Amino acid sequence: MPNAGSGQVVVNGVSVPVRDYHQVTRRLIPGARVRLESDQDLDILSSGVLALQLTPGTEVVLPAAPGRWLGRDGTARVDRGLLRVTTGLRFDGAHLAITTPDATVRLTGTTVAVIAEPAGTCVCVLEGTADVKAGRGEVVHVPAGTQCDIARGGRKAPQAGEMREIERPKLQDLRDRLQAVMN
């Protein structure tokens, strides 16, 4: 959670100052719709399981952290913006599905960025793999160090290539900084 910066976190329509750690934390529950109106990123941790990072302007629906024994699948939604995700040791064997207006991304232990832009969705994978499915299309396996782009409306097949260089250091920082706390 940020303890600096300015702005608001809007959770289920209620605006809370980003610096009000206790109010923000109390409102961030599974299924909550969150919009970040701040000048800094927002980190959300589920100790040992999952860390999420929202960038300013991002709007998401938060997942439930996968359970320890049962309920090992989670779902999240990114309506717009950029969500970075890294998984912890207790995520092992779990799955997280992240939907965007253009695709569904399935994670099984990885560090990725899911970017919902006006032109489509981009998935950048730092480590591990992600399975990306555009609409009714086929699943594309996106390995470490690469990205997959899905055009809005699904008129073109997903395009794969090297991951966005701007995302590499940001994902590495997220993984290194938050996994030390989570694990």
pTM: 0.91
Q: Classify burial at 22, counting beta carbons within 10 Å of its beta carbon; exposed 0-12, middle 13-18, buried 19 or more.
A: exposed
Find out whether 6 and 47 touch, Cβ atoms under 8 Å: no
Position 71 scores a pLDDT of 56
Find out whether 150 and 102 touch, Cβ atoms under 8 Å: yes
Where are the domains positioned within the chain?
49-182
Position 110 scores a pLDDT of 87
Position 66 scores a pLDDT of 64
Position 91 scores a pLDDT of 80
Q: What is the C-alpha separation between 138 and 147, in angstroms, rounded?
A: 16
Task: State the residue for tokens 């109390």.
Answer: 26
Q: What is the pLDDT of residues 42-68, one digit of tens each?
A: 998 877 788 899 999 999 999 876 656
Position 67 scores a pLDDT of 58
For residue 93, the Cα-to-chain-centroid distance in whole angstroms is: 18
Q: 49-182 adopts what CATH topology?
A: Jelly Rolls (2.60.120)
Position 2 scores a pLDDT of 47
Position 135 scores a pLDDT of 77
Q: Which residues of the chain have pLDDT under 50?
A: 2-3
If we measure between CA atoms, which residue out of 83, 80, 147, 85 comes closest to residue 118? 80
